[in-house]
Amino acid sequence: MEVESASRVVDGAVVLIDSVEGVEAQTKGVWAQLNRYGVATKLVFLNKMDRPGASFKSALTSILASRLHPQPLPLVVPIASFGCSAYRQAEPGIHGLIDLVKWERWRWTEEGKPSMEALPRTLGSLISVFEPNHPIPSHLVAARTQLLDNLSMHSEELMDTLLSLPSAPDAYLGIESGQILPHLRQASLQNAILPIICGSAVRHIGTELVLDYAGELLASPLDVPHDPQNPNAPLRLLAWKVNWDPRRGWMTFVRVYSGKLTRQSKLLNNNRNQKEVISKLMLLYASEFQEVDELPFGSVGVILGLKHTRTGDTLVSTGAPASARSVLRDITPPPAVISSSVIPQSHADLEPVQNALESLARTDPSVRVDIQEGQVLIHGLGALHLEIVEGRLRNEWNVNFEFSKRRVSYREGLGFGAPNSEWDTWDTDVGGGKRISVKLPLIVRPLENGEEGDPVWDGNKVLDDRGNKLPAPESVPVGPLSYVVQGVASALSSSPHSSLAMTHVCIQIPKQALSAQATPSILTGAAAGVLRQFFRSAGPGPIMEPFINLKVTIPEGHLGKIIRDLTEHGGEVLELGAGSTASADGEVSGGFSQEGVYIPPVWLTPSASDGSLRSSTSGVKRAIHGLAPLSQFLDYSQRLRALSEGNGTFEMYAAGFKEVSEPRQMEILREIGRA
């Protein structure tokens, strides 16, 4: 959730990719998050270039193979060694970089101290800078030529500049960086190119260049769409992270999207309809705090003293007009797929544990806490997430408890039966022998095949009378609609048949449902009541469980055992392929084309030369792509280690909820005590 929260508020991002492994499943997940929140610009740093097996070429082609971007544009060329012997002996390492844009040579000592010098602008002089017979100089002209040619495809002005040059082989070396950077920045802002830098962060190689180019190429708050700013612009900010600090108390990290925040500002939490008072405003520089008097438009800072704000809430000025009180786009966590009951060690520990869980849910919106049949259940994104939650509860809140056995979170779909004719009428006793009847004609249907649910509603869709998606209940402005929405959320959280959360249900709230004359509590109870009556009369629906996409890379000799284990545990094989992302002839299967993209030669990173070719031609490594139920693969790391004799690796990521067979449905119902 840390990356999810940060992705919501940044305008640019530096994405690290392992030069040995290339693009991995986690890389794709982070990239999808950045795209989902519309992060305007990205820069890639190919890290760990000093490791054996690191490959500048393979890492770059993996970006194309994974369809991250069709136009990766390397801004640097790595120097494995300033001596020729390392290239002949295939020794790993990186000792320098050539900045193709500013035409500079960077060199690092063993202690990580950098030195930089400008390179000559002619080929003859360039060769003299390096050791005789060094392979790098002859390649630099071609590398810079292709960089400028590719960039000129996105700038007519740069194209005209290049066309006016003489036809000498080294003519492109005379182009100054000041003639390149404006076009490079514009292409980055338009997402036409993806700047690539490489190096080794642990040895500080390339980190200076990353910081320089981040400042020159990534978007500023003024480069992305925003509200018109003037001295009287209404104040709006998003709390993108809430954290508890033992010394400072609740720290709310915010980004100012409109207006200017001062210590005198009076804030209203739009999501909670609660007023907040600022204690201090701070800027955070790594672990250092600097107290300030104001946070202007576009800035990111920390507020101390807020009591009700949670991660993802929108804050506005208490005096802002109604038109300025719209809720900013929330931070949407993935659906919870695993749960565990939290058992206090004694009755005296119950209240501290509940307070700690409430505080934890305030900081992490992906954590969901509810009570079922007297048990306190905590839901998370996976086994690792629950381990982190357990550690935070013990270390940050010092509470005494135990976690029960972890259990996959299942879902129930809508039943296929026809509801009775009176399902939309709810009767209740309001005390004193008086009964009240409320009619809420909601429109309820299952999602169609291919119709996507809303992550905010855990895979369901809740619409207003015009068919527009409604936000989470706490984000709906106070009024009849918000009371009905709260009841809808309550009904969807627990099926009357299995107590599982409902999913793949579409509910529309027409205007007639908002015209009932009733108190807020009655409206909320009526909405929950009529929906439960609908679910009950429609009968039990299909049970769904979370599935994962699985990629297992193993030596070919273990292929049969791994496939058999996958199928025996309810999975299916989708595809068999080579472990490498690129094929032997350099074509990328299913990815973007390499045509028109600068693909560096293999020898630039000599330690990768033998390994890369061997893995793509000999077929020693095989990759199995499969689809499997998460419940059967919670302990897969241990199982794979035994099956592959420690030589297998795997990646898994969520594939959503899918219906299960009738025998599996009975197993699940027995597991949750409903059969």
- List the CATH number of the domain containing 498: 3.30.230.10
Q: Tell me what pLDDT residue 617 has.
A: 36
| C-alpha span between 24 and 22 (Å, rounded) | 6
| C-alpha span between 459 and 473 (Å, rounded) | 15
Q: Tell me what pLDDT residue 456 has.
A: 85
| C-alpha span between 183 and 163 (Å, rounded) | 16
Q: Considering its fold, how many domains does the chain have in total?
A: 5
> With b meaning 16 or more CB within 10 Å and e meaning fewer, what string describes 225-249?
eeeeeeeebebbbbbbbbebeeeee
Residue 232, phi then psi, degrees to nearest 5:
-110, 20
> In this structure, are 61 and 209 located in the same domain?
yes
Instruction: Report angle CA 383, 654, 491 to the nearest 5 degrees.
Output: 85
In a domain, 9, yes or no: no
Torsion-angle region of 619 (φ positive above 0: left; ψ -120 to 50: alpha; else: beta)? left
- List the CATH number of the domain containing 653: 3.30.70.240
Please give the C-alpha separations between residue 673 and each of 102, 219, 392, 666, in angstroms, as whole numbers: 67, 53, 30, 10
> In this structure, are 70 and 207 located in the same domain?
yes
> In this structure, are 436 and 463 located in the same domain?
yes
Least confident of 98-102, 475-479, 558-562: 475-479
- List the CATH number of the domain containing 171: 3.40.50.300
Which residue among 218, 252, 270 closes a domain?
218
> In this structure, are 664 and 548 located in the same domain?
yes
> In this structure, are 342 and 317 located in the same domain?
no
In a domain, 415, yes or no: no
> In this structure, are 263 and 275 located in the same domain?
yes
Instruction: Report angle CA 66, 71, 74 to the nearest 5 degrees.
Output: 100
Torsion-angle region of 292 (φ positive above 0: left; ψ -120 to 50: alpha; else: beta)? beta
> In this structure, are 516 and 573 located in the same domain?
no
| C-alpha span between 529 and 532 (Å, rounded) | 5
Task: Give the model confidence (pLDDT) of 489-514 as tens digits.
Answer: 999 999 999 989 999 999 999 988 88
Q: Tell me what pLDDT residue 182 has.
A: 96
Task: Give the model confidence (pLDDT) of 325-378 as tens digits.
Answer: 667 777 777 788 898 999 999 999 999 999 999 999 888 888 888 887 778 889
Task: Give the model confidence (pLDDT) of 291-305 as tens digits.
Answer: 999 999 989 999 999
Secondary structure element (H or E) that encloses residue 166, with its range:
none
Which residue among 184, 218, 252 closes a domain?
218
In a domain, 227, yes or no: no
Residue 410 has pLDDT above 70, yes or no: yes
- List the CATH number of the domain containing 243: 2.40.30.10
pLDDT tier, 613 (very low <50, low <70, confident <90, very high otherwise): very low
Residue 570, phi then psi, degrees to nearest 5:
85, 10
| 45, two tokens | 């740093």
Look up tokens 């996958």; give the residue: 566
Q: Tell me what pLDDT residue 589 has.
A: 45
> In this structure, are 536 and 549 located in the same domain?
no
- Nearest C-alpha neighbor of 611 from the set 11, 222, 56, 54: 54
In a domain, 488, yes or no: yes
pLDDT tier, 159 (very low <50, low <70, confident <90, very high otherwise): very high
> In this structure, are 365 and 453 located in the same domain?
no
Whether 259 and 301 have beta carbons less than 8 Å apart is answered as: no
Contacts of 197 (CB under 8 A, 6+ apart): 43, 44, 45, 46, 74, 75, 76, 206, 209, 210, 213
How many CB atoms are located within 10 Å of the residue 656 CB? 16
> With b meaning 16 or more CB within 10 Å and e meaning fewer, what string describes 458-481?
bbbbbbbeeeeebbbbbbbeeebb
| Whole-number average pLDDT of the chain | 88
- List the CATH number of the domain containing 394: 3.30.70.870
Residue 260 has pLDDT above 80, yes or no: yes
Secondary structure element (H or E) that encloses residue 444, with its range:
strand 443-446
* Angle at which helices 25-36 and 2-9 cross, to 10°: 40
Helix (H, G, I), strand (E, B) or coil at 214: helix
Which residue among 541, 575, 608 closes a domain?
541
| 100, two tokens | 């193709």
Put simply, whether the predicted model's pTM sits higher than 0.85 gets the answer no
- Nearest C-alpha neighbor of 489 from the set 441, 453, 533, 456: 456
Q: Tell me what pLDDT residue 356 has.
A: 93
| C-alpha span between 527 and 449 (Å, rounded) | 26
Instruction: Report angle CA 632, 559, 545 to the nearest 5 degrees.
Output: 20
In a domain, 604, yes or no: yes
Task: Give the model confidence (pLDDT) of 14-45 as tens digits.
Answer: 999 999 989 887 898 899 889 988 898 999 99
Helix (H, G, I), strand (E, B) or coil at 89: helix
| C-alpha span between 494 and 490 (Å, rounded) | 7
| C-alpha span between 180 and 140 (Å, rounded) | 17
Residue 515 has pLDDT above 80, yes or no: no
Average pLDDT over residues 159-170: 90
Residue 74 has pLDDT above 80, yes or no: yes
Q: Are strands 338-344 and 407-408 parallel, antiparallel or unpaired?
A: antiparallel
Q: Where are the alpha helices (DSSP H) in 457-601?
A: 480-492, 520-538, 559-568
Look up tokens 């994974």; give the residue: 66
Q: Tell me what pLDDT residue 475 has.
A: 78
In a domain, 28, yes or no: no
The domain of 443 spans: 425-541
pLDDT tier, 323 (very low <50, low <70, confident <90, very high otherwise): low
In a domain, 663, yes or no: yes
pLDDT tier, 450 (very low <50, low <70, confident <90, very high otherwise): confident
| C-alpha span between 357 and 363 (Å, rounded) | 10
In a domain, 27, yes or no: no
| Maximal CA-CA distance, the chain | 101
| 468, two tokens | 């527009």
Q: Tell me what pLDDT residue 583 has.
A: 34
Task: Give the model confidence (pLDDT) of 178-209 as tens digits.
Answer: 999 999 999 999 999 999 999 999 999 999 99
Average pLDDT over residues 96-112: 92
High-pLDDT (> 90) share of the chain, %:
54
DSSP letter at 119 equals P
> In this structure, are 656 and 593 located in the same domain?
yes
- The percent of the chain in helix, strand and coil, each rounded to the nearest 5, is 35, 30, 40
pLDDT tier, 124 (very low <50, low <70, confident <90, very high otherwise): confident
| 76, two tokens | 């640097």
Q: Tell me what pLDDT residue 325 has.
A: 66
Q: Tell me what pLDDT residue 324 has.
A: 64
Residue 584 has pLDDT above 70, yes or no: no
Residue type present at position 279: S
Residue 656 has pLDDT above 80, yes or no: yes
Residue 415 has pLDDT above 60, yes or no: yes
Look up tokens 């390649």; give the residue: 139
Residue 414 has pLDDT above 80, yes or no: yes
Contacts of 587 (CB under 8 A, 6+ apart): 594
| 483, two tokens | 């009371």
pLDDT tier, 580 (very low <50, low <70, confident <90, very high otherwise): very low
Contacts of 17 (CB under 8 A, 6+ apart): 23, 27, 44, 45, 46, 47, 59, 62, 63
> In this structure, are 553 and 534 located in the same domain?
no
Q: Tell me what pLDDT residue 228 has.
A: 74
Q: Tell me what pLDDT residue 119 has.
A: 94
Say how many residues make up the chain.
675
Task: Give the model confidence (pLDDT) of 525-579 as tens digits.
Answer: 999 999 999 999 999 999 999 999 998 988 888 999 999 999 999 999 998 876 5
> In this structure, are 73 and 213 located in the same domain?
yes
Contacts of 469 (CB under 8 A, 6+ apart): 454, 456, 461, 462, 463
Q: Tell me what pLDDT residue 626 has.
A: 93
